[in-house]
């Protein structure tokens, strides 16, 4: 707890009898302290090797992870990418490292990535991974980086993450490492054709995104993407969006546009269902001046919603948008994607005597929130506008299509399929899985 690398919020669990005991602690124990991050500088030999590898690259690509934000390296990354013409992609934890409209920011990478980021990842001959663990979603289950001769550079404060998967390591603080690389690469830049390819891919993705989030003609339930578009249109650059589990994080990773660091807060390391509302309350406590907008599915809402009452008690206003698809739509889609039949994920597909008539807006109102069920995207945008003027938490519930997901972007994900099944759909899915696994490069 006294190490600047490890200090922070902690939980102390004390037995009840111990809680009643007294001890004469020195008052110095309770004096406030401000810890500064330890900014580890790179080893000279590692720096020279990494700089030489970048200089030799023809199609280099940056993957910005959460370490960029932890290190407050956003401006350094922007200068670095601009100076050397390097396209940038963002992990879930690294999203908001660059403004969405930065010309070299291709957006999300990996399983939930944009078509632009994933297209260039497939062609890159060098990947500079800054502050990222290069986990399964980021690497498309290690099938995303397709160039046979590609090299990976791991710029990471943790040696384990810097060297994994035969990466060329650069053990350093993200900001210090980027600044050291910038000095070592003076006079060099990536081929202009590569930056042009990034610009073209970004323009194509922008059109695909606009198509995904645009409202459609009247009739039919809106998709998650269209709800995200409505929230974005009603939003402001100073807003902070919070989410955690299910299909929404994937859609947000692709589609949500951030203008400044910290405007995107996702718990997707463990995909904790129920995190959204208490997580949003924590964000509001840390950033009381910002409007915090929580997006949550009905399944996650039912798991943990009581912090709505806490937000009222503390006077920490949230705007909560509940996307009600009557079950666990994301898991149902995954179930069907590997050839299974819908079972026990949507209310209508459960073993049941009667489907409960859930009124989530009435439930939220019972916890003290201003709450309403909205019947359309324009109503949702108007509801968010009213919520901005409100003094307490507002909950807006909108019914959504459980079957729809954004087709553009994305990448294969290693979800095993049964080898034997009576269902033809499962057998076909297994054949496709066996073929896809051959593209993995997990050990190089």
CB 59 within 8 A of CB 85: no
- Model confidence pLDDT, tens digit, residues 220-243: 899 999 999 999 999 999 999 999
* Contact assessment for residue 266 and residue 249, using Cβ atoms and an 8 Å cutoff: yes
Q: Measure the CA–CA gap between 152 and 132, rounded to whole angstroms.
A: 12
Helix/strand/coil (H/E/C) assignment for every residue in the chain = CCCCCCCCCCCCCCCHHHHCCCCCCCHHHHCCCCCCCCCCCCCHHHHHHHHHHHHHCCCEEEEECHHHHHCCCHHHHHHHHHHHCCCEEECCCCCCCCCCCCCCEEEECCCCCCHHHHHHHHHCCEEEEECCCCCCCCCCCCCCCCCCCCEEEEEECCHHHHHHHHCEEEECCHHHHHHHHHHHCCCCCCCHHHHHHHHHHHHHHHHHHHHHHCCCCCCCCCCHHHHHHHHHHCCCCCCEEEECCCCHHHHHHHHCCCCCCCCEEECCCCCCCCCHHHHHHHHHHHCCCCCEEEEEEHHHHHHCCCHHHHHHHHCCCCEEEEEECCECHHHHHHHHHCCCCCCCCEHHHCCCCCCCCCCHHHHHHHCCCEEEEECCHHHHHHHHHHHHHCCCCEEEEEECCCCCCCCCCCCCCCCCCCCCCCCHHHHHHHHHHHHHHCCCCCCC
User: Taking the model in full, what pTM does it have?
Assistant: 0.94
| Mean pLDDT of the region 1-9 | 72
- CB within 8 Å of 65: residues ≥ 6 apart: 91, 93, 94, 129, 130, 131, 132, 133, 138
Say yes or no to pLDDT of 256 above 80.
yes
Percent of the chain with pLDDT strictly greater than 90? 88
Please, which pLDDT band fits residue 376 given cuts at 50, 70 and 90? very high
> How many CB atoms neighbour CB 87 within 10 A?
26
Residues 6+ apart with CB under 8 A from 183: none
How does residue 299 score in pLDDT terms, banded at 50, 70 and 90?
A: very high
Taking residues 366-376, report their average pLDDT.
Answer: 97
Give me the percent of the chain exceeding a pLDDT of 70: 99
pLDDT at 291 over 80: yes
User: Which pLDDT score is estimated for 366?
Assistant: 98
Query: pLDDT tier at 200 (50, 70, 90 boundaries)?
Result: very high
Is-contact 252 241, C-beta < 8 A? Answer: yes
Burial 237-274 (b: 16+ CB within 10 A, else e): eebbbbbbbbbbbbbbbbbbbbeebebbbbbbeeebbb
User: What pLDDT is attached to residue 49?
Assistant: 98
**For residues 201 and 245, what is the distance between their CA atoms, to the nearest angstrom?**
29
Residue 128 tokens read as 């500079």
Domains and CATH numbers, the chain: 44-205 (3.40.50.1220), 214-399 (3.40.50.970)
Query: Tens digits of per-residue pLDDT, 45-101?
Result: 999 999 999 999 999 999 999 999 999 999 999 999 999 999 999 999 999 999 999
- Provide mean pLDDT across the span 202-229: 94
Give the Cα separation of 241 and 264 in Å (integer). Answer: 5
Residues 405-431: tens digit of each pLDDT: 999 999 999 999 999 999 999 999 999
Cα separation of 165 and 440, whole Å?
A: 12
Q: What is the spatial distance between Cα 124 and Cα 58, in angstroms, rounded to a whole number?
A: 8
Instruction: Dihedral sign for Cα 414, 415, 420, 421, please.
Output: negative
């Amino acid at each position: 707890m006294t190490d600047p690398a490890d200090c922070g919020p902690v939980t102390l669990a004390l037995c009840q009898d111990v809680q009643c005991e007294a001890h004469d602690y020195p008052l110095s124990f309770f004096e406030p302290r401000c810890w500064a991050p330890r900014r580890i500088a790179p080893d000279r030999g590692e720096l020279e090797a990494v700089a030489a590898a970048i200089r030799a690259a023809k199609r280099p690509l940056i993957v910005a992870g959460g370490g960029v934000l932890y290190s407050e390296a956003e401006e350094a990354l922007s200068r670095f990418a601009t100076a050397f013409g390097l396209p940038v992609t963002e992990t879930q934890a690294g999203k908001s490292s660059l403004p969405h409209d930065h010309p070299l920011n291709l957006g999300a990478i990996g399983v939930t990535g944009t078509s632009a980021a994933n297209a260039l990842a497939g062609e890159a001959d060098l990947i500079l991974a800054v502050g990222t663990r290069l986990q399964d979603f980021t690497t498309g289950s290690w099938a995303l980086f397709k160039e046979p001769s590609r090299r990976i550079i791991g710029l990471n404060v943790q040696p384990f993450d810097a060297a994994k998967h035969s990466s060329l390591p650069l053990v350093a603080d993200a900001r210090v490492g980027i600044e050291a690389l910038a000095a070592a690469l003076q006079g060099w830049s990536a081929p202009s054709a590569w930056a042009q390819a990034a610009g073209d891919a970004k323009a194509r993705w922008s059109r695909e995104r606009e198509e995904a989030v645009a409202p459609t003609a009247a009739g039919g339930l809106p998709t998650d993407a269209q709800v995200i578009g409505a929230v974005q249109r009603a939003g402001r650059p100073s807003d902070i969006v919070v989410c955690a589990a299910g299909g929404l994080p994937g859609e947000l990773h692709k589609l949500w546009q951030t203008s400044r660091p910290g405007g995107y807060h996702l718990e997707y390391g463990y995909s904790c269902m129920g995190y959204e509302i208490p997580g949003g309350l924590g964000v509001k406590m840390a950033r009381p001046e910002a409007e915090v907008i929580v997006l949550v599915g009905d399944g996650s809402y039912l798991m943990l919603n009581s912090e709505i009452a806490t937000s009222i008690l503390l006077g920490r206003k949230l705007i909560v948008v509940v996307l009600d698809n009557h079950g666990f739509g994301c898991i149902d889609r995954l179930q069907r994607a590997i050839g299974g039949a819908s079972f026990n994920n949507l209310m209508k597909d459960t073993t049941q005597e009667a489907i409960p008539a859930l009124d989530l807006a009435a439930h939220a109102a019972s916890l003290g929130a201003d709450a309403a069920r909205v019947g359309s995207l324009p109503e949702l945008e108007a509801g968010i506008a009213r919520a901005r003027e409100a003094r307490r938490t507002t909950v807006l519930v909108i019914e959504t299509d459980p079957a729809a997901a954004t087709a553009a972007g994305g990448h294969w994900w290693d979800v095993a399929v049964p080898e034997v099944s009576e269902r033809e759909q499962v057998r076909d899915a297994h054949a496709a899985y066996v073929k896809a696994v051959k593209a993995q490069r997990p050990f190089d």
